Amino acid sequence: MGLRRAKRQKTDHLPEDQGTPGLAVELRGVRRQYGRGAGVVHALAGIDLALPRGTFTAVMGPSGSGKSTFLQCAAGLDRPSAGYVRLGGTEITGMHENELAELRRSRLGFVFQAFNLLPSLTVEENVLLPMRLAGQRPDRRRAAAVLARVGLADRARSRPDELSGGQQQRVTIARALVTAPDVIFADEPTGALDTGTAAEVLGLLRQAVDGLGATVVMVTHDPAAAIWADRVLFLADGVLAGSLDDSSAEHIAARMAALASRTGTTAGATA
Ligand code: ADP
């Protein structure tokens, strides 16, 4: 690992440095600390992770376990203090801010708890925004196809405030899908939705994985959301603390409770 890191620092992200084929997300030795000296906080204390393309992963953990920091580092929104991150085979760790911004627009999709739709744009314009920002020609047929996929074929000309919360979150999924990204990062995507609507939105993320081969990484504190994933990864004190595959909500909740009692925090709490 030490040798590899030394090589990376020299070669940065040259074309030969393509990572392992078939992996959408790769983190190696990722650390993120805040502050220094006596007040240092190790938000991520060494994360090694490889997520294949076409998988749906949920990341859970007690409040303060490092979920947000993980998502920020994995999605190129924050820089690790050590280690490296590859997305779709491209190492992002040494990228300049403008390269990272371009990569986020063209190769990543984001679905957040707050929908972050622009109120003055139509649904179709919101969906096409990542393409416009990435300097690509807005492809209206593509927008129509992804809107149809999320059940909003007839709402292309609506404004976000004419839609329900669930419909707005469907628009953000269409927006996340429009560029056929390497990875979709979702942060508590159902946090603002009622249970039934939440299940519909999660079902759409599941369909994107099963039907389009998308890769989804979702941070959530909700076991009912996590069951839609293939695999649940648990974080505790900035390190990976186990995983569950194809698990039940009860099983996931029990694991969360055990982790929370170990780390002295509250299972369901978010930071
Ligand atoms: P989670 O999302 O699981 O609640 P976070 O990633 O937000 O966890 O935080 C992990 C740890 O890092 C916590 O101890 C938190 O207080 C600390 N932390 C997060 N962001 C900052 C920051 N900007 N400055 C200082 N400490 C931070």
Highest mean pLDDT among 108-117, 125-134, 186-195, 225-234: 225-234
- Token pair for 210: 């099963």
Ligand 1, atom 12, residue with closest C-alpha: 43
pLDDT at 220 over 70: yes
Beta strands in the chain (DSSP E): 23-34, 41-52, 56-60, 82-87, 90-91, 108-112, 183-187, 216-219, 231-236, 239-245
Q: Confidence band (pLDDT; 50, 70, 90) for 115?
A: confident
pTM: 0.89
In a domain, 270, yes or no: no
Q: Residue 108 sits in which domain range?
A: 23-262
In a domain, 54, yes or no: yes
In a domain, 64, yes or no: yes
pLDDT at 131 over 60: yes
In a domain, 16, yes or no: no
Residues in Cβ contact with 18 at an 8 Å cutoff, skipping those fewer than 6 apart: 89, 90
At 8 the pLDDT is 35
In a domain, 18, yes or no: no
* Domains of the chain: total: 1
In a domain, 188, yes or no: yes
Q: Determine the distance separating the centroid of ligand 1 and the alpha carbon of 69, expressed in angstroms.
A: 7
Instruction: Among 68, 187, 256, 266, say which to mutate for ligand 1: greatest number of ligand atoms within 8 Å of CB.
Output: 68
In a domain, 4, yes or no: no
Indicate which CATH number applies to the domain containing 215.
3.40.50.300
Q: Determine the distance separating the centroid of ligand 1 and the alpha carbon of 42, expressed in angstroms.
A: 9
- Does residue 271 line the site of ligand 1, with CB under 6 A? yes
Ligand 1 atom index nearest CA of 71: 6
